[in-house]
Amino acid sequence: MENTIRTEIQDGYAILTLDRPNACNALNTGMLKQLAEALAHFDRDPEIRLVILTGADGNFASGADIGEIADRTALDGVHDLRLHSWETIAKVRKPLIAAVEGYCLGGGFELAQRCDLIVAAENATFSQPEVRLGLIPGAGGVQRLATSIGKWRAMRMVLSGETITGREAFEWGLASHTSAAGEALPTAKEIAAKLAQGAPLAQQFAKQAVLTALDKPEGLDLERRSFELLLSTEDKAEGIAAFRAKRKPDFKGR
């Protein structure tokens, strides 16, 4: 399997870099598996207090790998190996910081939203564009958007696939910090260095307390089931064909 995750250890924290630059760090099954395994490893390491996630070559992650879902059916979605990786990421006890530059789209945006803090560079681009492919987010993006920015802005993003900037993400409450272009990772390192001096167990319990208040299992389950059902629609096939052909899709509601 291609190695798509780079690891760096700092004083008290780790940095994981998504490294598929030729695909703008799109999250394929292999990358997601490697990421989940790396996070699980650092979650067990008593020397590591928290982890920063970032992307190579000026992008965080451009979304899911379209090639992997083009022919996927609803039944395939139920047995999707990626589900285990997402569940592993969700169970990480230690704080996670996303340092976001460039594209942060679709599954990449959902990954950033799984983090506990987001540093959004002003040149970052955030979007949940799945509706343009005849799909919806399937890894919790809808639920977390609604919690973070409320009904109206969440509807605005998920119904249209609208794109917002890093500055807008911060102003809307989607990001905890902002930075100048090119400074997301240095800013995240400054935050990590401070957090690494904190009380680890207290931070872990605090994280769990906040997530318990926010994550509603029934909403997450509904989102995932809806995503799986949409995989077998004609509109999904048309959306992906149009994306590949760089043309406007002709959706029929089938």
Spot the catalytic one: 122, 130, 168, 228.
130
Marked catalytic residue, from 64, 124, 139, 184: 64
Q: H-type helices in 82-216, by residue range?
A: 82-90, 107-114, 141-160, 166-172, 184-195, 200-214
219 catalytic per annotation: no
Q: Does 223 qualify as catalytic in the annotation?
A: no
101, 110, 168, 228: the catalytic one is: 110
DSSP strand E in the chain: where? 5-9, 13-18, 50-55, 96-100, 103-105, 117-121, 125-127, 164-165, 177-179
Contact 118, 145 (CB under 8 A): no
| Number of Cβ atoms within 10 Å of the Cβ of 73 | 11
d(CA 25, CA 54): 10
Residue for token pair 């240095």: 186
Q: Which of 95, 96, 115 is nearest to 205 (CA)?
A: 95
Q: Does the active-site annotation cover 110?
A: yes
Which amino acid would we find at residue 123? N
> Catalytic site residue 47?
no
- Of 77, 107, 134, 138, catalytic: 107
Query: Annotated catalytic sites, by residue?
Result: 64, 107, 110, 130
